[in-house]
């Protein structure tokens, strides 16, 4: 009796073990080279800025992923490269336009499936009221995603200007 009870629970366990031993194990995915990805993302952002400074809207927008979403301080979101191209052409029609980036930083997901690029920017553009060049300071945050061809493209771009130093100092003075 004990022998038959042992066989009733031992047989399924032995069968499961033998099936598991026969199952093919998937090879471990190689670890992502996050340093290489960070370098590629930074180089892409710098190339996009160079295209903007050359007033080449088509080349600048070529850094967009097909599903790009653009968010620019106070404007409606842009969806897709066509909307981004129209906006970029309008921006680059300003002969004073020039963009400088600094404090670049890239964080790459450990799986290598996403990267976040962050930078400060200084933009020179024409003030619509005075028609004279003005400077805008701000932050640029870009989500990059890998593409089927191995390149990294901008999937989300957020541009946010920062207030002038005098505007941020005023509320602090009022608190006293």
Task: For the chain, give the mean pLDDT.
Answer: 86
Q: What is the pLDDT of residue 43?
A: 97
Rounded CA-CA distance 105/120 in Å is 10
Mean pLDDT of 21-49: 82
Contact 115, 38 (CB under 8 A): yes
**Confidence at residue 176, expressed as pLDDT on a 0 to 100 scale:** 43
103 sits in the region (left: phi over 0; alpha: psi -120 to 50; else beta) called left
The number of residues making up the chain comes to 176
- Residue 10 confidence (pLDDT): 56
pTM of the model: 0.76
Q: How high is the pLDDT of residue 73?
A: 85
CA distance 47 to 18: 56
How confident is residue 72, by pLDDT bands cut at 50, 70 and 90?
very high
Calculate what percentage of the chain has a pLDDT beyond 90: 71
Reply yes or no on whether the pLDDT at 50 is more than 60: yes
Concatenating the DSSP letter of every residue in 107-169 gives EE-TTSS-EEEEEEEEEEEE-TTT-SEEEEEEEEEEEEEE-TTS-EEEEEEEEEE---HHHHH
Task: Give, in order, the Cα–Cα distances in Å from 2 to each of 8, 10, 16.
Answer: 10, 12, 22
The pLDDT of residue 161: 92
Cβ contact 134:56 at 8 Å: no
């Amino acid at each position: 009796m004990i022998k038959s009870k042992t066989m009733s629970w031992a047989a399924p366990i032995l069968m499961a073990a033998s099936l598991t031993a026969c199952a093919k194990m998937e090879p471990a995915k190689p670890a992502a080279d996050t340093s290489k990805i960070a370098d590629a993302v930074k180089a892409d952002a710098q190339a996009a800025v160079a295209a903007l400074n050359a007033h080449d809207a088509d080349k600048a927008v070529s850094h967009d992923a097909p599903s790009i979403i653009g968010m620019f301080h106070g404007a409606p979101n842009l969806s897709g490269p066509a909307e981004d191209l129209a906006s970029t052409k309008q921006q680059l029609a300003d002969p004073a336009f020039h963009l400088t980036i600094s404090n670049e930083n890239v964080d790459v997901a450990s799986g290598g499936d996403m990267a976040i690029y962050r930078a400060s920017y200084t933009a020179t553009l024409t003030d619509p009221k005075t028609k004279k060049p003005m400077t805008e300071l701000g932050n640029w945050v870009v989500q990059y995603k890998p593409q089927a061809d191995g390149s990294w493209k901008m999937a989300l771009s957020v541009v946010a200007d920062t207030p002038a130093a005098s505007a941020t100092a005023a509320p602090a003075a009022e608190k006293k």
